[in-house]
Amino acid sequence: MSMPALFKGRLSIPVIGAPLFIISVPDLVIAQCKAGIVGSFPALNARPPALLDEWLIRIKEELAAYDRAHPERPSAPFAVNQIVHRSNNRLDQDLALCEKHKVPIIITSLGAREELNQAAHGWGGIVFHDVINQKFAHKAIEKGADGLILVSAGAGGHAGEISPFAFVAETRQWFDGPIALSGAIGNGRAIRAVRMLGADFAYVGSAFIATSEANAVEGYKQMITTSTAEDIVYSNLFTGVHGNYLKPSIVAAGMDPDNLPESDASKMSFGTDASGERAKPKAWKEIWGSGQGVGSVGKILPAAELIARFKQEYADAVDPRYEGIRSELTMSSNRPALPMTGGCSCGAIRYQIASFPLLLYTCNCTDCQTRTGSAFALNMPVRTKDFHVLKGEPKARRHISPTGVAVASWFLRRLRCAPLRRAGGPRRDRQRPRRDAG
């Protein structure tokens, strides 16, 4: 998997905020980017079309000011969604404004166009294309898209029918570029699962409808917080493209959600009239879209608080095999007091940890067997920021493990024991364990 340089050092969590029709406006995009995730909006949300220029100016200026004030944690890049369907009579005008402002990320939907991808590359941007099956995925990459957004079963708005497990696995058989995965992602554990499946980003939309910054009526936001996956209806009636919608909103509009007619896809239209308004706004304003992950939302929050919750849930998500150990370490009434100290049996090195270990496990890989001279090694990962060497001067030895991971071990040269280790890239390996003064 490859991560474009554009994202490196600028994300607090691997999430792209999906562009939500009507809902995503500069207030939401800016809040998302400041909190460390990619914020995005559909170009068609800016109506009349001239408003898009004002939006892009505001987003760029506010994020630049934030970056100057917070150089240690710069904002995430933002993205503009372009509907490439032939009925979108604004596409060329909107794309010209994106070129004027050198929008870093373009998200394309409902059509892949080689000339659009080339134009974005010309001003230094990258293009993600959203797809619902392998046919469209191959077509997007053949036409020059840099990354794919796999819209799987359970996603909000225009959605697919393929399981995310199968979709990612089959795509990774032929594509090693950046992938975002969409489909019922409503909490940090789901974001962690996205990474475990082999995707680079979670593509999250519905949860952001219930945020303070979202351009949604209060009734829509409240319906998001009280609905569950069983309240989602999959239909193509409202736009000509199959998507997921909130059942209560369909009932409120006087329709039977269990007996919706099929739409004629050939009459699908994303065009606007002279004022910039959509020709058929009724479906979007009265029938509310949502994915199946709404059961995790719960309440209306500022976007920054929602993202902070995602970050904590993402950090806390661990393999269920270790959950018992983790619970015993962190929740037992008999757990030891912090900080805890430890070291070599000879006493030459002493260290302190200020938080409980993330887990305990035994490993029988070749590297651990070689290091210990045993059939396995007992390992106890801890957070770097909470680890301090109190006594001793361990020496570093850096090498590549049999599995290809860069490893730094700190050991006592006299006894050749290596009580401290760090696995990771070269940048991490250059860091020594912190030693407290005195």
Model pLDDT, residue 426: 42
Question: In tens digits, what is the pLDDT along the chain, a chain of 438 residues?
Answer: 466 888 988 999 999 999 999 999 999 999 999 999 999 999 999 999 999 999 999 999 999 999 999 999 999 999 999 999 888 899 999 999 999 999 999 999 988 899 999 999 999 999 999 999 999 999 999 999 999 999 999 998 888 899 999 999 999 999 999 999 999 999 999 999 999 999 999 999 999 999 999 999 999 999 999 999 999 999 988 888 888 999 999 999 889 999 988 876 665 555 555 555 555 545 456 899 999 999 999 999 999 999 999 999 998 887 655 555 455 444 444 557 778 888 877 777 888 888 877 777 777 777 777 777 778 778 888 877 788 888 877 777 777 766 666 676 766 555 556 666 665 544 444 445 555 443
Are 66 and 6 in contact, with CB atoms under 8 Å apart? no
pLDDT at residue 149 in the model: 97
Give the C-alpha separation, 362 to 378, whole Å.
4
218 is written with which tokens? 């209060």
pLDDT of residue 281: 43
Task: Compute φ and ψ for 202, nearest 5 degrees.
Answer: -90, 140
User: In which element (H, E) is residue 158 found?
Assistant: strand 157-158
In angstroms, the Cα distances linking 226 to 36, 247, 248, 297 are 27, 12, 10, 8
Contact present, 69 and 108 (Cβ < 8 Å): no
Q: Output the pLDDT for position 429.
A: 40
For residue 34, what is the DSSP state? Answer: H
For residue 173, what are the CA distances in angstroms to 153, 157, 165, 176, 359? 20, 27, 13, 8, 32
CB-based contact 213:280 (threshold 8 Å): no
The pLDDT score that the predictor gives to residue 412 is 58
* 8 Å CB contact between 29 and 39: yes
